[in-house]
Amino acid sequence: MAPALSPSTARVLGTLIREGPTSRMQLARMTGLTPGGITRAISPLVDSGLVRETAARPAGGRGRPATALEVQADRELQVGVKVTATGLVAVLCDLRCRVLAEHHEELRGQDPPTVLEQVAELVRRWCREHPRVRRAGLSLSGDVDPSTGQVGYSPFLGWRDLPVGRLLAGMVDVPVVVENDVRALLTGEHMAGTGAGAHSLAMVTIGAGIGCALLLEGRVVHGSHGVLGEIGHVLADSAGPRCHCGNVGCVEALAGEAAVLEQMAGRGHPGLTVPEVVAMARAGSADAREVLAGAGRAIGIGLATLANLFGPAVIVLTGEAVGGPDGDYDVMAPSVREEFARRAFGSAADCELVLRPLTFTDWARGAAACAVAALLTSRAWNGEAAG
């Protein structure tokens, strides 16, 4: 494949991707390299046309004005695919992780060959239609080792100990990375989103389960036992209901999808879905509001715990019921924020809390972002040498 970027080149390119147009001197300051090093580092990128100079900005001060460098993001494209229990979401992204095209489809089956063939067809088709596709990323929930592409266990699909990366790499013509879905979402956020380039960042997703991924000191962290960020089983209420994990009062038992629907059923509203509950709350239903507020408080405790233990600069919370930034769907948000502020200790409360609705596109974009990240960290592509 591409002749593996040198450390400096990767650092500079990563900075350009995250920060947008930047002058050489700024890059030198940001990356800690010398100006000469910058020129050297970008020279292969400029030669290949991946990076170009934009018009020199007039500059206010004295001296020679700086000329900005900009990634020609559309020169190399990525396909990102997120696999859920029932379907695929795929996006075509440029290097700066902007979405150029989007595609949803149902799974034809859940067994690995069927799913992987379906993914491969999609990747191959986009590779044909867009010759600039260079990499692909695949994300799915469960225990994934991105360095080997091995899937340990994926509960939704029922897969176990499967070399997904190697298999898929053999079916398409571009290198492939496989990642856990929440970590992929986090990677996307860190590459191009609210938390772009943040020193530390946490991502929490509320859905059927509660997911969490962490980035510390610029790196996405992986737990020793494959378990990490099990925020769903943090204690939120000692007198709370029993959780499927056997304990009492877990965040998930109070705020998970099942918990919310169960509480609604207990109040005489059986057979709903989460979006319906949210709609009811917006329409003024006291039951729906109370249930979602209770869930929000539990989540707030979980987030505060996360903030107290990690001190991230930003926590991004996503989920169907979470609500948008400006009140459009703000059903849970106030109670989340209130409880978070109450239980965050000291300067952990300075942690920025970003709430946003969950879109399938973002999940898939995260997978594409992992492909870009793998390019920048010269991590192993599946099946290939460690480049």
Partner DNA sequence: AACAATTCATTGACACGCGCAAAGAAATCA
Partner DNA sequence: TGATTTCTTTGCGCGTGTCAATGAATTGTT
> What residues make contact with DNA under the rule CB under 7 A?
4, 6-9, 23-25, 32-41, 56, 58-59, 61-67
When CB distances are held under 5 to 8 angstroms depending on the partner's kind, the choice from DNA, a copy of itself, none that residue 6 binds is: DNA
Show the site string, 233-272: x = touches a copy of itself by CB under 8 A, - = not: xxxxxxxx----xxx-x-----------------------
Give 227 or 385: the residue with its C-beta nearer to DNA.
385
Residue 84 vs 305, nearer CB to a copy of itself = 305
Shortest Å, Cβ 256 to a copy of itself? 13
CB-wise, 65 or 226, nearer to DNA? 65
- Residue 217 CB, shortest distance to DNA, in Å, is 19
Comparing CB distances to a copy of itself, the nearer of 229 and 323 is: 229
> Pick from 189, 264, 187: which is nearest to 256 by CA?
264
The two three-digit tokens of residue 139, written as one number: 């994300």
The two tokens of residue 208 are 């059927």
Q: How far is CA 187 from CA 22, 33, 282, 386, in A?
A: 22, 24, 32, 20
Residue whose CB is less far from DNA, 62 or 225 = 62
- Tell me the three state secondary structure of residue 189: helix
* Long-range residue pairs from 34-39, CB within 8 A, at least 24 positions apart, any chain: 37/8, 38/12
377 binds, among a copy of itself, DNA, none (CB under 5 to 8 A by kind): none
Q: Are 291 and 263 in contact (CB under 8 A)?
A: yes
Does 199 sit near a copy of itself (CB under 8 A)?
yes
Closer residue to a copy of itself (CB): 76 or 339: 339
Name the DSSP letter for residue 152: E
Using rule CB under 8 A, residue 228 touches a copy of itself: yes
CB of 261 to a copy of itself, least distance (A): 22
Q: Residue 64: which of a copy of itself, DNA, none does it interact with, CB under 5 to 8 A by kind?
A: DNA
Q: Does 350 participate in binding a copy of itself (rule CB under 8 A)?
A: yes
Whether the CB-CB separation of 221 and 180 falls below 8 Å is answered with no
Q: Does 313 bind a copy of itself (CB under 8 A)?
A: yes
Helix segments in 133-273, DSSP class H? 164-169, 181-191, 251-255, 257-266
Which value, in Å, is the radius of gyration of the alpha carbons in the chain? 22
Residue ranges of E strands in 181-327? 201-206, 210-216, 219-220, 314-319
**Of these partners, a copy of itself, DNA, none, which one is at the site of residue 348 (CB under 5 to 8 Å by kind)?**
a copy of itself
Which CA distances in Å does 224 have to 140, 143, 227? 20, 12, 7
Tokens of 92: 């075509």
Q: Residue 219 CB, nearest distance to DNA (Å)?
A: 18
Rank residues 57 and 125 by Cβ distance to DNA and give the closer one: 57
Partner interacting with residue 233 (select from DNA, a copy of itself, none; CB below 5-8 Å by kind) = a copy of itself
| Distance from C-alpha of 274 to C-alpha of 312, rounded to nearest angstrom | 29
Tokens found for residue 263: 């509480």
Residue in 373, 361, 377, 378 with CA at minimum distance from that of residue 98: 361
225, 283, 326, 385: which one binds a copy of itself (CB under 8 A): 225
Instruction: With CA atoms as reference, report the closest residue to 228 among 329, 313, 143, 130.
Output: 143
Residues near a copy of itself, by CB under 8 A: 199-200, 212, 214, 216-217, 219, 221-240, 245-247, 249, 301, 305-306, 308-313, 342-343, 345-348, 350-351
